[in-house]
Structure 1
Amino acid sequence: MFKNYKKVTPAEPAPAPFDNDDIANAWAAPAPAPEPVVPESLFSNPAPVSNFTPVSHTPAPAGSVRNVLNSDVSVVGTLRFTDDLLVDGSVEGEITSDGVLTVGTNASIQAEIKTRSAIIHGRVTGNVTVTDRVELSSTAELVGDVIASSLAIQAGAVFIGRSTVGSPQSIPTPVMDTKKHKAEDKPAADLLG
């Protein structure tokens, strides 16, 4: 006779209706940034110093460079080396080698250079004598004479001096004029005409 009716209760209360202020506040406030998670192992075992590899700001030549004089190094005197050398500091005196000398962009050299080859990116004041090749990059400044089998100069390089380029057999010997030409020995009319 009596029917059994069960009263149903909701598990959660019904959400309140949205209002325009709630929507505006939701867009205005940025979500809080999550806390970064740093694994403890990053700081517990630092890497050994022997794994440190310095980075050079000077362009490396095509081959690998074994010897480097950084920008904080200054040498006065004669500098001799057997392999390749990259100089990014300053040198005053003489540089001799059977290897390749690379002058970095930060380098300032006032020396006579006698090597197999020279690649110049920085500033050199002095004569350069090489058995193979001299390369002047666009940032190079060379004030001095060059004697080499070949000479390459990029646009933008500054070269003030004389160059003798070619193999020793093809380099002509300069012929000296033994006559003296003095202005006081000749009348002015002879000089003009």
Structure 2
Amino acid sequence: MPMPPPPDLANLSLAQIAQLAGEKSLPPVSQWDPRHCGNSEMRIARDGTWYHQGSPIGRPAMVRLFSTILRREPDGGYVLVTPVEKLDIVVEDAPFTAVEMKTEGSGRERNLAFRLNTGELVPADADHPIRFEAREDGPHPYLSVRDGLEALIARPLYYDLAEIAIADDETPPGVWSGGAFFAMAA
């Protein structure tokens, strides 16, 4: 059965986004413990592009499908897992990229939601915190997606978050979402 296309974030309220995110049924990859079978010959590049044997995976539905069986291992590595096999996958930075953001409310009442490059919708809240990592090339913001998997928040969205933080004038600078505060300092 083909996977449906991702919903359009612009036409959804944050309440609808939260409902869709809550209804999302993912495979129980944390409960599966198959034997390790080797390397998947797949890689997720820093920009969120998925590759197989060096070529980009051009079908978004395939990327969405693979993203549902992705798991972070206790050693920090990543695997694609099914009930019968487990294959390593290389992740250069984060396995997902937040490519679109929706905001409602202001200050402490603000709610943010993100659409990932896989189409998945994730609200920013205490269960899905935003963190900022300082690097030589500037801050890198991440959104917790699930079970140790994160999304790198795209640079234009980081600038939107910075504008919100400046407008809200919090000390330390940061953003509120879902009743939780996320300081922008790393």
**Shared topology, TM-score over 0.5?**
no
TM-score for both structures, normalised by structure 2: 0.24
Higher RCO (CA-CA < 8 Å; seq separation 6+):
2
Higher helix share: 2
Pick the structure with greater CA Rg: 1
- Between Structure 1 and Structure 2, the one with more strand by share is 2
